Structure 1
Amino acid sequence: MSQSMVSDRASQRAFFGVSALLFAASAAVTIVWCASMSAMGEMPMPGGWTMSMAWMRMCGQTWTGAAASFIGMWVAMMVAMMLPSFTPMLWRYRQAVGRTGETVETGLDRLTALVGAGYFFVWALLGVAAFALGVTLAALEMQLPALARAVPIASAVVVLIAGALQFTAWKAHHLACCRATPGRGCMLQALPADARTAWRHGLRLGLHCSTCCAGLTAILLAMGVMDLRVMVAVTAAITVERLAPVGERVARVIGAVVVVVGLVLIVRAMRTG
């Protein structure tokens, strides 16, 4: 076995080993965060549902501090949820940079980290938007009982729409880009080995990925951003549709399941409303 092959295998083992450690650490932080939020309890609301304390300030906490805490936890949660499907995309990037023929071994890890930073920067920005939206809606729901009573059916409708999105060409296009499927104009070609390209590539992946996951992320926000069961289900759906050999077909199957769940939730909300 040549020295080059040994080095490549060692690099591959190190890459996937670090990825596994990052996943374990982010998953542990997410579990601890969810447990701490659950220990604080939830606020009962008109309509028979409860509001998560994630949208509230703690005693003595400023809104800036609350936002920073939420975004930090949001990023940790996104790392845990997205890393299983993002790791193969990072590995394809390393291979694409290697195809340039440049000597980049010493800087390849740094470039890979920049791609990851750009990717999760997009998710962090979405966390800012999610916090602003969540806090605004929470304030309105506490002031307007009629709006609060409409939340269960509104959440169910969000789930139903998210399931329907799984069948669209828009979803198929962005899923193909995340999967780097040939023939869709998104296949990853050889890339220059420089920091600017790495950062921009990470941003591009983050935009495609967040757009592709818009419906599934909406389910997470609608059903309970602190609910570990919903997190696990959404993570599994995202991972399977990205990594399965027939991803588009899997996405449609997931969509059918989500539509059924949405309809069941609508019926339940109407009966209890």
Structure 2
Amino acid sequence: MEPISRRGAFNAAFAVLIILAWLALWLWERSPYGRYLNHAELGGLVHDAAWSSVLLQSSVYVTGWLLMTTAMMLPTTLPLLDAFRRMTARRTDAGQLVALVVAGYLAVWLAFGLAAHLFDLRLHALLERVAWLQANPWVFGAGPLAVAGAFQFSTLKYRCLERCRAPVGFVIQHWRGGNPVVQSLAIGAHHGVFCVGCCWALMLLMFAVGTGSIGWMLALAAIMAIEKNVAWGRRLSTPLGLALLLWAAAIALDHAWSWQ
């Protein structure tokens, strides 16, 4: 049986990591550099061909996205990390292996964030060339809401969600002996893939409101944690999907009404 002191140390370290991520984002949002958490501000740097601007954009975005995913998504993995920690508790390198699981998980979310950011920049480049989009910027607000709402009813959403809701079975399936470093990274990465699979559409909403919007982050983090880890969480998906679709429709109708 795992010593209580070791379990308490893990929970304390995990809590400190999450709190520091939230605190860093809160302070960043209120600093003179808070505007760089907004994707539109980052997109403006792309037009400057200087390598310094490109590197600035990349480093700022990677830092902001990693802080955001650590604050929002890492708490939802606590059941998985706890199961993995208990399974490896007798090993002398248990702490290192847990850290590798976290690293693998965040690496997948970072890859998704970079892909989403490049897609977002392409959309804004398209905005500058298409007159209709320039005249209808509401599409960039209603679009992510509609996509996120529709995805709540998809089969892929539920398949990935079910894998995320069975952390013990997931660890047993993937922890097969062999190289512990590689397997720890693989467990984190595999779990990250399923987590992205069930949560990517909700995370895209951050591009509509800005990476550093603490209020949105808290709301979405709570929703995703409930969906993944609470017994009745799956029942939240349908009303949430309907609410997001209605919100997108309201934006479109408001635009149509204003043009009459």
- Report TM bin, short chain: 0.7 to 0.9
2:26 corresponds to which residue? Answer: 31
Matching residue of 1:69: 60
Change in 2 beyond 3 A, CA 1:180/1:128: same
* Residues 119 and 203 in structure 1, CA contact (< 8 A), matched pair in contact too: yes
* Cα pair 2:25 2:67 within 8 Å, conserved: yes
Change (3 A) 1:188 1:138: same
111 and 237 in structure 1: CA distance in 2 versus 1, 3 angstrom threshold: same
User: Root-mean-square deviation (CA), in Å?
Assistant: 2.8
Task: Spell out the pairing of 1:84-163 with structure 2 (5 A cutoff).
Answer: 84-97=75-88, 103-104=90-91, 106-163=92-149
Show the counterpart of 1:55.
43
Query: How many angstroms apart in 1 are the aligned matches of 2:255 and 2:206?
Result: 18
Q: Is the 8 A contact 1:166 1:251 kept in 2?
A: yes
SS in 1 for 2:93: helix
User: How far is the alpha carbon of 1:154 from its aligned partner?
Assistant: 4.2
Distance in 2 between the 1:141 and 1:36 partners?
A: 29
Shift of the 23–214 alpha-carbon distance from structure 1 to 2, 3 Å rule, reads: same
C-alpha displacement at 1:116, in angstroms?
0.3
Counterpart in the other structure of 1:47? none
SS of the residue 1:213 aligns to: helix
CA–CA distance in 1 between the matches of 2:68 and 2:35? 19
CA shift, 1:202, in A, is 0.7
Q: Cα gap change, 1:120/1:139 in structure 2, threshold over 3 Å: closer, same or farther? A: same
- Indicate which of 9, 15, 19 corresponds to 1:14: 9
Structure 1 counterpart of 2:77, one-letter code: F
| Residue in 1 that maps onto 2:246 | 260
Question: Which residue is 2:71 aligned to?
Answer: 80
* Match runs of 1:178-257 below 5 Å: 178-180=164-166, 187-189=170-172, 191-192=175-176, 194-257=180-243
Return the alpha-carbon distance in structure 1 between the equivalents of residues 78 and 167 of structure 2: 16
- Structure with bigger helix share is 2
Return the letter of the residue paired with 2:162: A
Could you tell me which runs of 5 or more consecutive residues in structure 1 were left unpaired when the two chains were aligned. Answer: 43-49
Contact 1:27 1:76 in 2 (8 A): yes
Q: 1:270 to 1:16 in 2, by over 3 A?
A: farther
Q: Report the Cα offset of residue 217 of structure 1.
A: 1.2
Amino acid at match of 2:42: A
1:80-121: CA deviation from partner (whole Å, max 9, x where unpaired): 0112211222112223445xxxx41x1111000000000000
User: How far apart are the structure 2 equivalents of 1:15 and 1:232?
Assistant: 23
Query: Following the alignment from structure 2 to structure 1, what is the Cα–Cα distance between the partners of residues 30 and 129?
Result: 28
Unaligned residue ranges in structure 2 (runs of 5+): none
* Secondary structure at the counterpart of residue 62 of structure 1: helix
Equivalent residue letter for 2:249:
L
Quick one: distance in 2 between partners of 1:78 and 1:51? 16
Structure 1 letter corresponding to 2:126: L
Q: CA deviation at 1:257?
A: 2.3
Report deviation, 1:37.
Answer: 6.8
Q: Would the aligned equivalents of 2:202 and 2:220 in 1 still touch at CA under 8 Å?
A: yes
For the 8 Å contact 1:33–1:73, the answer to whether it is kept is no
How many residue pairs align between the two structures?
Answer: 253
Structure-1-length-normalised TM-score: 0.81
Percent identity (aligned): 23
**Normalising by structure 2, what TM-score?**
0.85
